Structure 1
């Protein structure tokens, strides 16, 4: 099976997801500074979601640069990852429009957590497709940062459920920014 079609389709879906998110930014009816300041939850939600989707796309891009073969399972796990990500614009809009209410942050954090889990399944599946001792598998072993992000997002879910959604959202933001830190800091690689 050729990976190029999977990559092209995936890139298109990522672009559509980001486009849908930006379309949720509505222009204020009165062009005053106050009306723009009132929009801060919507804009912050959008900016963090753009960052998350962009990071997800970058990781997917780097992952598939080294992929030499795929199978039907990889195709469908990738499709499930896109399904989860396609829900991000909805969760983003709900969170921004409702000023980070507990249920909206919980749903948002849950989607991000599910996305990390699906991505980890995709990486593990690709490692199996390439073989245990392959260059691909050796390059993608461990993934400590993924496990740390998964734990932090689960903590964010709990924090939001118990009534501190803005603290949970801040944890999500910090977790996203951690992906700018090089992997070698998180993992013990020779």
Structure 2
């Protein structure tokens, strides 16, 4: 199986996901400062989702850049990841339109958490396909930053459930922004 087909299809789905999200940004009927200010939850939801989907795409791109072997299991786990990500526009719109109510942030953080778990499964399948001692596997071993993100996402779910959805959303923003810190800097800080 050729990795190019998976990459092309995946890139197309990422583009569609981002397009669907931007279509949720409705033009205010009365374009004044107050109308734009009232839209901040919708725009904040969109911005964080755009960042998350973009980071997910970049991770996928870096992962598949070095892939030489693709199995049927990799194909279907990749499809599962795309399925989870395809729900992000719905969760984004729901969260923004409902001013970050607890259930909406909980569902949103849950989708992000599931996406991280599926990505970890994808990485592990690719490592197995290339051999656990291969240069590919060595390059993608050590998911400290990914596991930290997953833990914080789960914490955001709990925080939202107990009644602090705005704090949970802020945690999700911080998690996404932390991915701009290069991995080697993050790894040194952890030691």
Whether TM exceeds 0.5 here: the answer is: yes
1:40 and 1:186 map into 2 onto residues whose CA distance is 31
User: What RMSD over aligned residues (CA atoms) do the two structures have, in Å?
Assistant: 0.7
Equivalent residue for 2:56?
56
Distance 1:132 1:154 in 2: 29
Aligned residues: 188
Match of 2:84 in 1: 84
Aligned position for 2:148: 148
Partner of 1:109: 109
**What does residue 122 of structure 1 align with?**
122
1:173 corresponds in structure 2 to 173
TM-score normalised per structure 2: 0.97
| Partner of residue 96, structure 1 | 96
- Cα deviation for residue 184 of structure 1 reads 1.2
Unaligned runs of 5+ in 2: none
Distance 2:30 2:185 in 1: 48
Aligned residues of 1:53 and 1:85 also touching (Cα < 8 A) = yes
Task: Give the Cα–Cα distance (whole angstroms) in 2 for the partners of residues 185 and 136 of structure 1.
Answer: 21
> Are the counterparts in 2 of residues 143 and 187 from structure 1 also a CA contact under 8 Å?
no
Which residues of structure 1 form unaligned runs of 5+? none
**Cα distance in 2 for residues equivalent to 1:103 and 1:31:** 30
Aligned to 1:47: 47
Deviation at 1:124, TM superposition (A): 0.5
TM-score, structure 1 length as denominator? 0.98
Q: Which residue of 2 aligns with 1:5?
A: 5
- Higher mean C-alpha displacement, 27-36 vs 7-16: 27-36
